[in-house]
Amino acid sequence: MHPESVKGFFILNNMIQIKEEFKKLIPALTNEEFQQLEDNCLHEGIREKILTWNGFIIDGHNRYEIATKWNIDYQIESKQFDSEDDVILWMIDNQNGRRNLNDGWKYKLQQRKKEILAKKGKEKYKEKSVFKGNQYSAPLSTIDNEPKHNTQKEIAKTLNWSTGKVAMADIVFKKASPEVEEKVLNNEITINQAYQEIKKEEKKQEYKEKVLEARIEATISENIKCGDSLEILETLEDGCIDIVLTDPPYGISYVSNRSIFNEAITKRGLLNDGKDEAFGLLNKTCEILQRKTADNAHLYFFCSWNVFSSFEAIISKYFTIKTPIVWDKGNKGSGDLDNDWGNQTEIIIYCVKGKKLVNNRRGNLISVSRLHTSKMVHPTQKPEDLLRQILEVSATIGDFVVDPFMGSGSTIKVCNEMNIKSLGIELDNEMFNIANGFINA
């Protein structure tokens, strides 16, 4: 067969085509490899022929790309095959024979080859079989019976792998996400690493399912209640709460001086915000929550730095404290303007009961600007985006979230928007009515 010499690229579309299924069988060159090939082609020309079948490139995709880019002469040679499957088999053998393939590509190409050979085997079996009724019977002669194939053993033998390694690859290329598969093919992670990641995720999923099976459903008639949180919490079923997200009184008799307007909401005081009252209330609340939370639960308590040690001492009696979360408010608060650093953070004590898995592990710094006083309906109201980011880490379908110190109702408002079952409790009747309006606005 005589190769054709082609110069330029103005007429190439009529002569050569790219078939994506063929191109996908060619492992991509790294940037460095492509650059080296391009330099070689520019200095020495394109010496190897570009091979085609029915006008489609089956070998030389990179050289063709370089040739069309730089208008370099090249030769094409047309190959003859009976079918597209035969082309693919040839391409696979060609790749195995000329390139240093990583394990991911070796497996993928061999698996594709086995699929085609199995398909051909079935077609051959049908040709030798007799069609009776609505199905094919066995061939007329037992001599014609094809031996059964063990694909794992065949691939293992071809690649000189253990069948265990082939089995791992089977699982990786069946269950891995496209992103993980791409990493394996790009040699960023090994087949074993991808397999271990898949098994790890499966174990996580199994654990989550067990937690869901053990869930105790809470019976509530409405998701905001006005009254004593201790009394209302006691009415809930033991073990029904999956997440606690709350901003309890800090025990600092909070009144903000940031606003120059006396009627500003931040000038309003809080109930139970004396030190003894607040710490005693927190202790009693945690004692009840220890019984009311599920065996695997997350709890978040907002806290000021100057009472952190007291909060930590109380909460740690009932739950396991994990990494504290720091909320960066974006601008510093008031205080000693001449002799102190400006505080622009608030601490969120994150603690657990049992082992409720997080949805995604993220850093413990959350940057969300504090609300302007003109947008607040409660003196210590937290931004909805801050609460949403916390819930995105912890909340799963069917979880029950409780805020024993509802305040503005922001936690409940966010839960409603995220379709999460929740309960907010507020002692202050006036504040409860304001929160009700805010939640349902």
Burial class (CB in 10 A: 0-12, 13-18, 19+), 21: exposed
Q: What are 413-430's pLDDT values in tens digits? A: 999 999 999 999 999 999
> What pLDDT was estimated at residue 105?
94
Task: Give the right CATH number for 1-100 from 3.40.1350, 1.10.3470, 3.40.50, 3.90.1530.
Answer: 3.90.1530
pLDDT class of 123 with cuts at 50, 70, 90: confident
Confidence of residue 23 (pLDDT cuts 50, 70, 90): very high
Please state, as a whole number, how many other Cβ atoms lie within 10 Å of the Cβ of residue 281.
Answer: 24
255 falls in which pLDDT band (50, 70, 90)? Answer: very low
What is residue 186's predicted lDDT score, i.e. its pLDDT?
92
Higher pLDDT, residue 205 or 282? 282
Tens digit of pLDDT for each residue in 308-318? 999 999 999 99
Does position 252 have pLDDT exceeding 60, yes or no? Answer: no
Q: What is the per-residue pLDDT for 150?
A: 75
pLDDT, residue 257, reads: 46
pLDDT, tens digit, 9 for 90 and up, residues 70-96: 999 999 999 999 999 999 999 999 988
> In b/e form, how buried is each residue of 209-232, taking b as 16+ CB within 10 angstroms?
eebeeebbebebeebbbbeebeeb
| Other CB atoms within 10 A of residue 29 CB | 15
Query: Would you state the pLDDT for residue 43?
Result: 95
Q: Within the chain, which residue ranges are assigned CATH 3.90.1530?
A: 1-100
| 134 or 173, higher pLDDT | 173
Query: Does pLDDT of 12 surpass 50?
Result: no
Confidence of residue 137 (pLDDT cuts 50, 70, 90): low
Q: Which two tokens stand for residue 358?
A: 């997080």
231 φ, ψ (degrees, to nearest 5): -70, -40
Ramachandran category for residue 239: left, alpha or beta (phi over 0 → left; psi -120 to 50 → alpha)? left
Q: How confident is the model at residue 127 (pLDDT cuts 50, 70, 90)?
A: confident
Query: pLDDT, tens digit, for every residue of 26-85?
Result: 888 889 999 999 999 999 999 999 999 999 999 999 999 999 999 999 999 999 999 999
Question: What's the pLDDT score for residue 277?
Answer: 86
- Check residue 131 and give its pLDDT: 58
- The arrangement of secondary structure in 224-333+342-439, i.e. its CATH architecture, is 3-Layer(aba) Sandwich (3.40)
Rg, Å, the chain Cα set: 34
Residues 139-158, mean pLDDT to the nearest whole number: 66
Q: What is the DSSP string of 367-414?
A: E-PPPPGGG-SSTTPPPHHHHHHHHHHH--TT-EEEESS-TT-HHHHH
| Per-range mean pLDDT, top range of 52-56, 100-104, 336-340 | 52-56
What is the residue-averaged pLDDT of the chain?
86
Residue 421: partners with Cβ closer than 8 Å, 6 or more residues away: 218, 223, 398, 399, 400, 401, 415
Residues of the chain with CATH 3.40.50.150: 224-333+342-439
Q: Is the pTM of this model over 0.75?
A: no
